[in-house]
Amino acid sequence: MGEGGFVMKILVKPVEMYRRDMFVAILLYFHVLAGSLNAKTPLPTFLPAARAARLRLLAKIRETSRTDDGMGMTRADHVRYLYFFAYALCTEDIIEELEGLADRVRLLFGQLRFGP
């Protein structure tokens, strides 16, 4: 296989949908917070589930890595796998900061109530 082809076929492609879901949830979180700050309006009752999307991605990565027996992986493939897994793990910091920012925005502008 070509440069990184093994990792792309075995790891990245099976989890692509989960990675996209997590990325979209994080972007939507940024968008909601920016909208609330710009308009000086309360946050919605429910914010995007970025943490849940990240946990689904990590579970799928672990599931995919368990089914792979490691055969045919070069040292470079192992390094690319580690980079990909580290990328997924580092999103925890981004999500933590977003949640902290949401708490501050909630203190400033409040939160919409659901129901009466």
Number of alpha carbons in the 13 Å side-chain half-sphere of residue 72: 11
* Residue 97 pLDDT: 96
- Asked if residue 114 lies in contact with residue 43, where contact means CB atoms within 8 angstroms, the answer is no
Q: What pTM was estimated for this model as a whole?
A: 0.79
What residues are paired with 43 via a beta bridge? Answer: 111
Residue 89: name the closest of 54, 48, 49, 56 by CA. Answer: 54
Residue spans of the chain under pLDDT 50: 1
